[in-house]
Amino acid sequence: MFKTWFRRLTVLVSILAIIGNVYIFTYPSLHPQSCSWRCASQKVAMDATDSLSLIEKTSFHIRRYLDDVWSHIGTKKGVKRSSKRGLPSDVHLLALGDPQIKGIWKSTPYLSRLDTYGNDHYLGHIFRMMKKRLEPSHVAVMGDLFSSQWIGDSEFFNRTVRYTSRIFQRNSTWLQNIQQRSHDDSGLYTVDWPAFADDLEERLKKEPKDFEFGFSDVKSWDPANDDYLFINLTGNHDIGYSGDATYQHMARFEELFGKDNYWVEYDRDTEHPWRIVVLNSMLLEGPALQPQLVEKTWEFLYRLFEQRFEGSTVLLTHVPFYKTPGLCADSELFRYYPHDYEREPYKQNLLRSQNHLSQDATKRVLNLIFDNDKPGVILTGHDHEGCETWYNKDAKSGDWTASKTIQASTELHIREITVRSMMGEFDGNAGLLTGHFNSRTKLWEWSFSLCPFSIQHVWWFTKVVTILSGLFLSILVVV
């Protein structure tokens, strides 16, 4: 009696496990268009299912799903970036919004610990799936890598190790080497921020100021191990807003994640130049706790402007640009520490948080970056919901107005895409930016899509039923 019952349960759990696993390992095939780079053939295959009956629609979707699964199985054919004679290959940039990984403290209950552990692997699953399917040329994490700027160096380090090894499945030995060089009495990582501060102030004093912001034609920071360029952006939860950001925040970010402001120019002296600009948007406005950090960001923008770059620009930054309320989930909001702030008096009146860049900073930044009137695209993070708007430049006044659709009266239109978060609550999205050089117009064309997974519970459910089914099956074998 019990055995029959148990056998049925095992069958049920095993079936659920199979369905769950098939789903989580093939989910991009359910949305083959938004989960693939934009390429010429795809424009043809757009779904025109509106006129079909329900049965025809269902069979269309099933066939599309199976075709897509089939085309990604076995033969590691991948999606080689088209590279016709003389033409540059497409840019395939995977943009991941705000992972915001949480920490584990002594007081954290075991269930939350498990949740955090699972969440790392849920995010890692998304990255693994995307990397295998898409073979991106660039991977950018849009800031807010962590969930809090109020953490010590050791916790910052520990989360970096999780970020590196669990989510992005990268070798983290180099992090241990850094910890061995730079640690406190109990061997835990501490950053040598006074050295960072001295160095920065020294460089700011020189004339011209002594900074290296530029790279050219870098396809990977570590070509022996990586065939893509990994870009980490600063977010307000990583370094704080400008009223919070200290030398310590910036020093540890730079040590573990790289520079906060830089550009990479590609194919500068060809007819198809383009570049990536990484901008630390937390340190543009104030009043700031360390005005030197803001000064450095503006120095970066002036240098960038002086490059007189003739190509297309992909701007990557965390905080979105100014827009009127109603265009996206967030509207402009600036908060300042009160003038009588008791807890940390040195922060009185400083910038506490911001949802957008101010109108003035938006104008200055966009005019410095998109000054050559070439097409480009902006990717941001921060609001979690995701959004798309157009920035229209009035050539006479140099003003930029945001709108839902292109304003035909203006000449230059740059699309800003706020990348929806990869967190489970927002369905584990990955953003796909394709850049294609149009040989007829001699311009780069940028297109974007979001590839959704599903809420983390589906992933969890699959893992649990998989373990249970393994357990039950082995019990059945033994009994």
Ligand X SMILES: *[C@@H]1O[C@H](CO)[C@@H](O)[C@H](O)[C@H]1NC(C)=O
**For residues 39 and 104, which CB has a smaller minimum distance to ligand X in the complex?**
104
**For residues 158 and 242, which CB has a smaller minimum distance to ligand X in the complex?**
158
- Smallest gap, in angstroms, from Cβ of residue 94 to ligand X? 14
Helix (H) or strand (E) holding 312: strand 312-317
Residue 216 interacts with ligand X (CB under 6 A): yes or no: no
- Smallest gap, in angstroms, from Cβ of residue 54 to ligand X? 47
Binding mask 253-292 for ligand X (x = CB under 6 A): ---xxx----------------------------------
Cα–Cα dist 266/314, whole Å: 11
- Which are the contacts of 242, defined by CB distance < 8 A and separation ≥ 6? 282, 283, 284, 285, 286, 287, 288, 289, 293, 294, 350, 351
- Smallest gap, in angstroms, from Cβ of residue 134 to ligand X? 19
DSSP at 314: E
Cα–Cα dist 466/474, whole Å: 12
Residue 188 interacts with ligand X (CB under 6 A): yes or no: yes
DSSP-assigned letters across all residues of 147-196: S-S---HHHHHHHHHHIIIIIS----HHHHHHHHHSB-TTS-B---HHHH
Exactly one of 26, 154, 182, 220 binds ligand X (CB under 6 A); that residue is 154
- Smallest gap, in angstroms, from Cβ of residue 445 to ligand X? 27
Residue 160 interacts with ligand X (CB under 6 A): yes or no: yes
DSSP at 101: B
**For residues 61 and 170, which CB has a smaller minimum distance to ligand X in the complex?**
170
**For residues 55 and 224, which CB has a smaller minimum distance to ligand X in the complex?**
224
**For residues 152 and 470, which CB has a smaller minimum distance to ligand X in the complex?**
152
Give the footprint of ligand X on residues 164-183 (CB under 6 A): 164, 168, 170-171, 173-174
Size of the site for ligand X (CB under 6 A): 19
Contact of 377 with 417, CB cutoff 8 Å: yes
Cα–Cα dist 141/95, whole Å: 6
Exactly one of 37, 122, 230, 309 binds ligand X (CB under 6 A); that residue is 230
Residue 221 interacts with ligand X (CB under 6 A): yes or no: yes
Tokens at 311, concatenated: 């190509």
Peptide bond into 32 cis (omega under 30): no
Cα–Cα dist 321/211, whole Å: 26
In angstroms, what CA-CA distances link 13 with 5, 39, 128, 309, 443? Answer: 12, 40, 26, 59, 54
Q: Coil, strand or helix: which one is 102?
A: coil
**For residues 114 and 333, which CB has a smaller minimum distance to ligand X in the complex?**
114
- Smallest gap, in angstroms, from Cβ of residue 276 to ligand X? 11
CA proximity to 144, closest of 45, 286, 253, 293: 253
- In this chain, which stretch among 82-90, 148-156, 323-331, 468-476 interacts with ligand X, using CB under 6 A? 148-156
Residue 51 interacts with ligand X (CB under 6 A): yes or no: no
CA proximity to 106, closest of 160, 144, 150, 155: 155
Residue 121 interacts with ligand X (CB under 6 A): yes or no: no
Q: Is the dihedral of CA 211, 150, 116, 317 positive or negative?
A: negative
Task: State the residue number with the nearest CB to ligand X.
Answer: 258
- In this chain, which stretch among 23-31, 161-169, 196-204, 464-472 interacts with ligand X, using CB under 6 A? 161-169
- In this chain, which stretch among 65-73, 130-138, 151-159, 408-416 interacts with ligand X, using CB under 6 A? 151-159
Cα–Cα dist 189/191, whole Å: 7
**For residues 117 and 221, which CB has a smaller minimum distance to ligand X in the complex?**
221
**For residues 164 and 421, which CB has a smaller minimum distance to ligand X in the complex?**
164
**For residues 221 and 334, which CB has a smaller minimum distance to ligand X in the complex?**
221
**For residues 188 and 204, which CB has a smaller minimum distance to ligand X in the complex?**
188
Binding site residues, ligand X, CB under 6 A: 152, 154-155, 158, 160, 163-164, 168, 170-171, 173-174, 188, 221, 230, 232, 256-258
